[in-house]
Structure 1
Amino acid sequence: MNTLQLSIVHRLPHSYRWLAGFAGSRVEPIPQNGQSAENCLIGLKLLSDNNSDSAWPTMHKLSLALRDIEVDSAVVECEGQPCLFVNRQDEQTATCRLKNFGVAIAESFSSANPF
C-alpha cells in the first residue's frame, strides 16, 4: 500500500456547498443557519506542506486514496490553497481511510484551563 507519511491535514472550520453552476470545481461556505446535511461538504487543508507546487499533487493522491474505497471527493482551491472536499456523510469514512494511508488529521479542540 502507498502511504503519504508526514502529510498532515486539518478540517476547515466551515461547512461548504458546491457553488451554483460549478459543482466539482468551486465551493462556497454555507451560512451556519442554512446547513443541509444532504448537500453539505467538509474541506480538508494540507498543513504539512506550504509549498503549493507540491501541495496539489499530494491532495490529488489523497483524493485517489478515497476513490479506491468509492468515496467521492474533489480537490478544489479554497482560501488560496488546494483543499480536499468530501460529502459530510462520508467524513468519518474519509478520515479513517486517510489515517490508514499514513495521513495525520489535526484535530481542533478547546481547552478549559482549570487554573
Structure 2
Amino acid sequence: MLNTLQHSVVHRLPASYRRCGGPVGFTVEPQAANVLNSDDDLIGLRLLSHNGDSAWEIMQNIKLALADMQLECSVLELEGEPCLFVHRQDECTTTCRLKNFGVGIAETFAGERRD
C-alpha cells in the first residue's frame, strides 16, 4: 500500500459537507458556512495526482490507511471524481497520517497576482 500512496497529492475541498440520505447508502452535500462545527461536519479531500480507475484505487488505499488508526471516513463520488470525507475534528490526524505515508497535501494560498 505504501508504494501506491507515495507521490499522490490531495487537496482539501473549500466547502464543508454533511451526510444526507441517498437512494443507496448516503451522499454528502455542502453546508452553509454558518452551520459549521456540528456533529456531522465533514471535510473532503480530492486527489490531484491521479485520474480514472487509479484515482479510485488510491482513495481506497488512503481509506485503508486511515482505518488502521480507526478514523471513520468514506470515499464517495463528487463531481465525477472520488473524494475522501472525514469528520472535521479528524482533519489534523488525517493529514498527519497521509504525510507519514508520503502523500502530499496541496495547500491553497491567497497571493497577489502579478501579470
TM-score computed with the length of structure 1 as normaliser: 0.88
Deviation at 1:2, TM superposition (A): 2.2
* TM-superposed deviation, 1:37: 3.4
Structure 1 stretches of at least 4 aligned residues deviating more than 3 Å after TM superposition: 20-25
Report the number of matched residues: 113
Q: Which amino acid aligns with 1:94?
A: T
The equivalent residue for 2:7 is 6
In structure 2, the residue corresponding to 1:70 is in which secondary structure? coil
Name the residue aligned to 2:92: 92
CA RMSD of superposed structures (Å): 2.1
Superposed counterparts of 1:34-53, under 5 Å: 34-50=35-51, 52-53=52-53
- Percent of pairs identical after alignment? 55
* Helix, strand or coil at the partner of 2:86: strand
Alpha carbons 1:6, 1:104 under 8 Å: kept: yes
Q: Contact 1:24–1:74 (CA<8 Å) still a contact in 2? A: no
* Deviation for aligned residue 1:22: 7.0
| Unpaired runs of at least 5, structure 2 | none
Amino acid of the residue matched to residue 15 of structure 1? S
CA 1:21/1:78 → structure 2, altered by over 3 Å: closer, same or farther? Answer: closer
Residue matched to 1:80: 80
Equivalent position of 1:20 in the other structure: 21
Could you tell me how far apart the structure 2 residues matched to 1:80 and 1:19 are? Answer: 18
